């Protein structure tokens, strides 16, 4: 039986560059939300802080955490490993915080398959167009051209997983997208799946 005192597990997934990380950070500014900070084997990007944006670890350390069954979910994304550890997540949930996950569809599938005594709400974030997505990836200024092309190719595969999520939101305007997510979480707006289906047809 789900406890009304415990927090909710809220997953935001998206193709790379669609804006899920920015949205997670914006939502976390609300008092009742906390971010599940993932462990990763990739190198830090400029301005990323260890322990705040990610826990940056070696491949050996990551494997040891897997062997200890420390992860709630983990996955390989663009040649690097990412994972959410259980201990901090469950502690925050038991204290009544809603925990935000910035993870891809692989991690979402793993969490959905588990029997957890917490409410789970999943969101898939889409870009307004392929052109805008490409410009967002370029504007990061941190990836080589071949990496950007790899991310665009992966987009065609990732976007197909939108059907597995509770809500799909188009991130054309950050503040509008944020308001829409909060509206779904608080049951103040109605979800229209037909709009998303039309948008998907333009993206793939």
What pTM does this model have?
0.91
Supply the pLDDT for residue 67. 98
Query: Which pLDDT score, from 0 to 100, does residue 4 have?
Result: 55
pLDDT given at position 162? 97
Q: pLDDT (tens digit, 0 to 9) for every residue of the chain, 204 residues total?
A: 455 568 999 999 999 889 999 999 999 999 899 999 999 999 998 889 999 999 999 999 999 999 999 999 999 988 899 999 999 999 999 999 999 999 999 999 999 999 899 999 999 999 999 999 999 998 876 567 888 888 899 999 999 999 999 999 999 999 999 999 999 999 999 999 999 999 999 898
Query: Which domains are delineated in the chain?
Result: 9-36+96-203 (3.40.50.300)
If you search the block for the tokens 């974030």, which residue do you land on? 125
> How many beta carbons lie within 10 A of that of residue 61, not counting itself?
12
d(CA 80, CA 78): 6
Per-residue confidence (pLDDT) for residue 2, from 0 to 100: 52
Q: What is the DSSP code string of the chain?
A: ---SSS--EEEEE-STTSSHHHHHHHHTTSTTEEE-PPEE-SPPPTT--BTTTBEE--HHHHHHHHHTT-EEEEEEETTEEEEEEHHHHHHHHHTTPEEEEE--HHHHHHHHHS--SS-EEEEEEE-S-HHHHHHHHHHT--S-HHHHHHHHHHHHHHGGGGGGSSEEEE-SSHHHHHHHHHHHHTT-S---HHHHHHHHHHH-
Q: In DSSP terms, which residues pair with 109 in a beta bridge?
A: none
- Predicted confidence at residue 1, as pLDDT, reads 45
């Amino acid at each position: 039986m789900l406890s009304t005192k415990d927090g909710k597990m809220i997953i935001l997934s998206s193709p790379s560059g669609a804006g899920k990380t920015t949205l997670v950070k914006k939502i976390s500014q609300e008092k009742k939300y906390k971010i599940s900070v993932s462990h990763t084997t990739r190198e830090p990007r400029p301005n990323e802080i260890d322990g705040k944006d990610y826990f940056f670890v070696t491949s050996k350390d990551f494997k040891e955490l897997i062997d200890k069954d420390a992860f709630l979910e983990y996955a390989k994304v663009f040649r690097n490993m990412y994972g959410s550890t259980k201990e901090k997540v469950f502690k925050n949930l038991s204290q009544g915080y809603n925990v935000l996950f910035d993870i891809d569809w692989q991690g979402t599938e793993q969490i959905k398959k588990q029997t957890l005594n917490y409410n789970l709400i999943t969101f898939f974030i889409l870009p307004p167009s392929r052109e805008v997505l490409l410009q967002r990836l370029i504007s990061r200024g941190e990836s080589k051209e071949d990496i950007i092309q790899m991310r665009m190719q992966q987009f065609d595969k990732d976007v197909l997983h939108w059907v597995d999520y509770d809500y799909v939101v188009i991130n054309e305007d950050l503040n509008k997208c944020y308001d829409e997510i909060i509206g779904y979480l608080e049951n103040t707006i109605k979800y229209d799946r037909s709009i998303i289906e039309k948008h998907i047809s333009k993206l793939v």
